[in-house]
Amino acid sequence: MSYETIQVALGEAVATITINRPKKLNALNRETIQELHEALSELEQDADVKVIIITGSGEKAFVAGADISEFADFSVKKGKKLAAKGQELLFDFIENLSKPVIAAVNGFALGGGLELAMACHFRVASDNAKMGLPEVSLGVIPGYGGTQRLPQLVGKGRAMEMIMTAGMISAEQAKNYGLVNHVATQEELLPLCHKIAEKICNNSPVAISHAIKAVNAGFMNTVNGYEQEIEAFGTCFGTDDFAEGTTAFLEKRKADFPGS
């Protein structure tokens, strides 16, 4: 299949999906989410593909966030639908894919970009990568699983700090937190991911599929947390803080939140 916002390269047993919106720093929009879903669905059915790597085009960004211009004027109802559909189509879909998905984080992974990386089965980052969930600076919260997966990966306290400060952490700090498994130079990032993928390919695909299900099952008690996130995410769309946060972002100025 041909795509507008992503590129798919098939190697020997390893497929690489590159999010290709360099002018937008590979920001996720509805089209990209849909195309990622379609590509992943197709690759899951391809018996020759054993491992999938997801990365971003260029050296600046993996995914710099969601495309805010698409939802800045959304209502509460539309906000909830946005989060629910995105989680179903892409983020939960990746987490529960029967084939391993590695995130090759080659630069900024912010907001929806970090949520995408966290939905993958594990992460490898370039040494220039920066990661964070800046949503509260826009008057909203992470809506694609960020409030659930980040605490699972780095612990509640660190996740709370990252979410509430809306700050970024370096690749090395992310490694220390357990958010990424390895850090490499830009040049070494994809070769390292392929090296790990080749090791995975030596093992039983059936057993790996069962292992993914078994590990994920240990976190199933968080399912209500995802529902709470969707509810809270949508509710934020009805606040003055959200209107100010998104307007300030699009106008490239600092937000002045009225509060509630």
For residue 168, give the 3-state DSSP assignment. Answer: strand
Question: Is 115 considered catalytic here?
Answer: yes
What per-residue confidence (pLDDT) applies to 1? 76
Of 43, 84, 49, 48, the residue nearest 232 (C-alpha) = 84
Q: Which residues of the chain have pLDDT under 50?
A: 260
pTM here is: 0.91
Round to whole Å and give the CA distance between 125 and 62. Answer: 9
Q: Token pair of 31, please? A: 């089209």
- C-alpha 45: how far from chain center: 22
Of 59, 99, 101, the residue nearest 193 (C-alpha) = 101
- Among the listed residues 12, 135, 231, 244, the single catalytic one is 135
DSSP 134: -
Q: Would you put residue 25 in left (φ > 0), alpha (ψ -120 to 50) or beta?
A: left
What per-residue confidence (pLDDT) applies to 223? 62
Phi, psi for residue 129 in degrees, rounded to 5: -70, 145
- Among the listed residues 4, 31, 44, 115, the single catalytic one is 115
What per-residue confidence (pLDDT) applies to 259? 63
14, β-bridge pairs: 51
| Unique residue bearing structure tokens 């605490």 | 151
Q: Are 66 and 27 in contact (CB under 8 A)?
A: yes
Question: Is 88 considered catalytic here?
Answer: no
